[in-house]
Amino acid sequence: MSLKRLLLTAVVALAAAVVFVPVASAGDFDPPRMGCTGDDPATCPAGQVGKPYSLSVRLVGDQDTGCAVLSVGSGSLPPGLSITQQFNETNAAIISGTPTAAGTYSFYLTVDYNAAPGCLKSSSDNQFIIQINPEVPRLVLQPEQSAVPISTIGRPFALQMTSNLADPKTWTVAAGQLPPGLSLGASDGLISGTPTTAGTYSFTVSAALSPDPLASPPRSDTKALQIVVRPAVVISASEPFVVGRAKWEVGVPFDATLEATGGNGVYTWALATGSTLPTGLALGTDGTITGRPRAAGITRFSVTATDGEGRVATYRGTLNIAAKLAIVVRPLPVGKVGKRYQARLRTTGGVAPVAWRIKTGPLPRGVRFDRMLGVLAGTPTRAGRYRITVKVTDELGAKSTKSFTIVVRAAPKR
């Protein structure tokens, strides 16, 4: 009987590797024509846990394959692999399956030639090694979106996409559309930018790992997401904040309302961190600022309104609190009959403009009072002492009253 050879063909990821195994004696291999390397033992192509593996064993020569039976002599095949087909008319036996455990497995294949009557009894065995690599981890994108993120027109937004694997990845938008103004970083998976258009945007993000020789096709995953873009929350103000600056006065009741629009749900009002209102004023839960200022000075403040989705708007204002309105008390100049007379009354504090009036007492004849300027002027015609009480009212309605005495002396005799 002529010498027989075993031809083993390893098929991994649809690629075939051919191994010749001598029947008559161990070590009779032809490495250039082998899918395995080495002589005895021969190292066959590696497999991978969870990935189908197939190794074809062929006999070459003039002996009928009906006489040959393939078995594992000593050692063991990788778990999950077995002899699934004996030699047949195709002159091949097959070892195949799906490996279930990683490791290096050494075993002997034995061919017996006594399976049928008339076959010459003989056998041959050769040692082989198959390396089974661990399963390549599956790529899983994160985060799991438990709540739809809310963004706001005109405000920076960022959403970091991550995965269970740290390997470099290529990120793309596989379907749908990101909100206008946002983009996806191809290398870092960061969705960022400043939204420009309100709406609800649905899209699918895809990430693929760099090519892996053990992973075919390349590992990738997708994640369906939504981002809602809301209009900006805006705070507007009633008088006296319509221009973001107000002038008020100690002791005068203050009442102004801030109003938020563009948000969802109930607004929560608060002074920004480190911000204060003038002493005597307080911010209400409805956005009103009320009270009576108790000290003069300029106060810059910031108020925030947070809607039910956590979006925040900030209002910045200035309050200039003037001292309480008061008439300056000083003696009036002495007048003379027939001589031009003028005296100006003055105030401190208050908010201009002010209006004056004579509350009680007559003025000297020939003297008039300018109610806008608070000026006494004219030419007295009669000597005497004139007791008057004046009252001044400022723009906020604050009032002050004081009494003065005007002395007019007679003209000198000639």
**Averaged over 342-362, what is the pLDDT?**
95
7 in any annotated domain: no
11 in any annotated domain: no
**Averaged over 106-113, what is the pLDDT?**
79
Instruction: Give the end of a domain, one of 230, 246, 268.
Output: 230
Mean pLDDT over each residue of the chain, to the nearest integer: 83
Instruction: Give the end of a domain, one of 110, 133, 156.
Output: 133
pLDDT at 357 over 90: yes
Residue of 6, 29, 7, 4 lying closest to 17 (CA atoms): 7
What are residue 362's phi and psi, to 5 degrees? -85, 150
CATH of the domain at 334: 2.60.40.10
Lowest average pLDDT, out of 35-49, 68-82, 129-143, 209-223, goes to 209-223
- Asked if residue 407 lies in contact with residue 367, where contact means CB atoms within 8 angstroms, the answer is no
Separation between Cα atoms, residue 40 and residue 19, nearest integer Å = 12
For residues 202 and 268, state if they share a domain.
no
125 in any annotated domain: yes
Residue with tokens 């985060």: 143
> Sorting pLDDT into bands at 50, 70 and 90, what band is 247?
confident
- Asked if residue 382 lies in contact with residue 396, where contact means CB atoms within 8 angstroms, the answer is no
Residue with tokens 């008559």: 24
**Longest distance between any two alpha carbons in the chain, whole Å:** 175
pLDDT digits (tens, 9 = 90+) for 22-36: 343 333 333 334 467
Sheet with 245-249, side-by-side order of all strands = 245-249, 312-322, 297-306, 268-271
- Residue 24: the pLDDT is 36
Provide the domain count of the chain: 4
DSSP assignment letter at 66: G
For residues 287 and 249, state if they share a domain.
yes
Q: Where are the beta strands (DSSP E) in 64-181?
A: 69-75, 81-85, 92-97, 103-112, 123-133, 141-142, 150-152, 157-160, 162-163, 169-176
For residues 152 and 193, state if they share a domain.
yes
C-alpha torsion angle, residues 379, 385, 387, 392 (rounded to 10): 30
71 in any annotated domain: yes
Structure token digits, residue 4: 């027989």
> Sorting pLDDT into bands at 50, 70 and 90, what band is 356?
very high
Structure token digits, residue 68: 């040959």
> Sorting pLDDT into bands at 50, 70 and 90, what band is 13?
very low
13 in any annotated domain: no
pLDDT at 328 over 80: yes
- Residue 69: the pLDDT is 79
5 in any annotated domain: no
> Sorting pLDDT into bands at 50, 70 and 90, what band is 5?
very low
- Residue 117: the pLDDT is 63
For residues 344 and 391, state if they share a domain.
yes
Radius of gyration of the chain (CA): 50
311 in any annotated domain: yes
**3-class SS of residue 294:** coil
**Averaged over 114-140, what is the pLDDT?**
73
**Averaged over 51-72, what is the pLDDT?**
70
Instruction: Give the end of a domain, one of 167, 196, 230.
Output: 230
Long-range contacts formed by 276-281: CB under 8 A, 24+ apart: 276/301, 277/301, 277/319, 278/248, 278/319, 278/321, 281/254, 281/319
Amino acid at 53: Y
**Averaged over 269-289, what is the pLDDT?**
96
- Asked if residue 141 lies in contact with residue 223, where contact means CB atoms within 8 angstroms, the answer is yes
Quote the domain boundaries for residue 344.
326-409
**Averaged over 94-103, what is the pLDDT?**
92
What are residue 31's phi and psi, to 5 degrees? -50, -40
For residues 347 and 404, state if they share a domain.
yes
**Averaged over 306-319, what is the pLDDT?**
91
Separation between Cα atoms, residue 57 and residue 350, nearest integer Å = 107
CA 82 → CA 15, 28, 65, 73, 384, distances in Å? 20, 24, 20, 13, 135
297 in any annotated domain: yes
